[in-house]
Structure 1
Amino acid sequence: MENRDIDIVLDLLAPRAAVASLAAPAVAGAIDLTRPDVVLRRARGAFEARRWSGDPVASAVLALLRDDWSDGAIEALHGTIVARRSDMDCGEPSLLLHACVAEAFAAEDIGRAAVLLATLHHLQADEAETLSALALCAARLGHFAQALLLANECLKLPQKHPRAYCIAGFCELERGNRKAAQSLLAVGARIARGRPDFAEMLRAAQRVLLILHFA
């Protein structure tokens, strides 16, 4: 695949802005964003504790965020979230954080997006969405080993997300495993087919499959 094709595919897999009129993502408990900096620090502490306990997801995520989850970065994100909150009509905190994720991807600030996604993952907000998006962050940053690990962890969840299959397939293609890549991408396309919310992911999977077919 050429660099242009890679960029197009990864962009199609990026999270889009949340819509307030849609149902809020499932969250295990209420999210209090009165102090976003406190929420971000607690999430960072939880990931560090998980890494020390041998959690591969935490290790992969923290490897991506060497400087992006610093105290200074948290303060900057705190200001971003507070400012965005005043602009949004929706008071749902998880939708607010998802909107900030979409804006970070649009600005190509992948580190900021990953911090927000890791925080949402810690808050147990739509685990398949956040984990697959973290895998995308790793792929965007060129860390394909971490991207494949995160995508494969997402594939273990009961909720099947097409982005996870697409990222896993893309990573297998990077490793030269063409047959595995085609199989994963085909499953991702099948899950996304007929779902308007997964239309961009369907296009991504179909584009790579088409390239592989004619390569």
Structure 2
Amino acid sequence: MIVELSLESRDIDIVLDLLAPRAAGVGFAMPAIAGAIDLTRPDLVLRGARSAFEARRWSGDPVASAVLALVRDDWSDDAIEGLHETIAARRADMECGEPSLLLRDCVAEAFAAESIGRAAVLLATLLHLEVDEAETLSALALCAARLGRFEEALLLANECLKLPQKHPRAYCIAGFCELDRGNRKAAQSLLAVGARIARGRPDFAEMLRAAQRVLLILHFA
């Protein structure tokens, strides 16, 4: 990917880090879904989401197939028990018990720890629970890119672009994937749209920086 992008490895890492989900307390939090999620038993929520994605995969859903390709062993029974303990402990510590924001904080922690498979499990669970689909689906596309799975990343990003709510992260990831395929013009167009959406939105400031950084490098490459 580095050769195709004409970017240094350090630049790629910086850009992908800028696109990472932030904790709910940083910037503008995703909309709360009060009362919609019961995290009394996080393991049951995680297992329910896993079963739903497995059923969707068997029915031929490409999004479910892409998501399950990312998580692998991170959605096993043992991994679910570990996540259950993490979520339960955080739930006990949080003053604000809004479940969707709690899960988003866990996603941000997983990204910070470079536990991308674990982040993907949490994001897939949020997607199953229909929490902020554009934020969640675009973050899953980022997981795929971080894991070097650019086919899945492009599929998830393009799926996100079909939603009414346009998210700059999805445009940035789609642009990255087009660069990986050698489609420079398509990549520049997608990144430019992502930058335009992010401009003037404090909650998208880091994504604006990511898009602008790649566009600038490509301009001088």
Given the two structures, how large is their TM-score scaled by the length of structure 1? 0.97
> Within the alignment, does 1:32 sit opposite 2:38 as a pair?
yes
Counterpart pick for 1:173 among 154, 179, 185: 179
Structure 2: 5+ residue stretches without partners: 1-6
Q: Who is 1:73 aligned against? A: 79
What is the Cα deviation at residue 25 of structure 1?
Answer: 2.2
* Cα shift readout 1:144-188 (whole Å, capped 9, x = no counterpart): 000000000000000000000000001111111100000000000
Equivalents in 2 of 1:45, 1:203: separation in Å? Answer: 38
Q: 1:10 to 1:74 in 2, by over 3 A?
A: same
Counterpart pick for 1:203 among 206, 209, 214: 209
Runs of 4+ with deviation above 6 angstroms? none
Q: Is the contact made by 1:20 and 1:95 (CA closer than 8 Å) also made in structure 2?
A: no
* Counterpart amino acid of residue 15 in structure 1: P
- Aligned CA RMSD, in angstroms, stands at 1.5
Q: Is the contact made by 1:132 and 1:164 (CA closer than 8 Å) also made in structure 2?
A: yes
Equivalents in 1 of 2:28, 2:211: separation in Å? Answer: 25
Q: Who is 1:102 aligned against? A: 108
Q: Is the contact made by 1:68 and 1:115 (CA closer than 8 Å) also made in structure 2?
A: yes
> Within the alignment, does 1:213 sit opposite 2:219 as a pair?
yes
The percent identity for this pair of structures is 87
Look up the SS of the partner of 1:189 in the other structure.
helix
Structure 1: 5+ residue stretches without partners: none
Equivalents in 2 of 1:150, 1:118: separation in Å? Answer: 12
Q: Who is 1:132 aligned against? A: 138
Q: Who is 1:156 aligned against? A: 162
Q: Is the contact made by 1:13 and 1:136 (CA closer than 8 Å) also made in structure 2?
A: yes
> Within the alignment, does 1:19 sit opposite 2:16 as a pair?
no
Given the two structures, how large is their TM-score scaled by the length of structure 2? 0.94
* Counterpart amino acid of residue 205 in structure 2: A
* Cα shift readout 1:86-124 (whole Å, capped 9, x = no counterpart): 221111000000000000001110011000000000000
Equivalents in 2 of 1:160, 1:169: separation in Å? Answer: 14
* Counterpart amino acid of residue 180 in structure 1: A
What is the Cα deviation at residue 65 of structure 1?
Answer: 1.2
Q: Who is 1:123 aligned against? A: 129
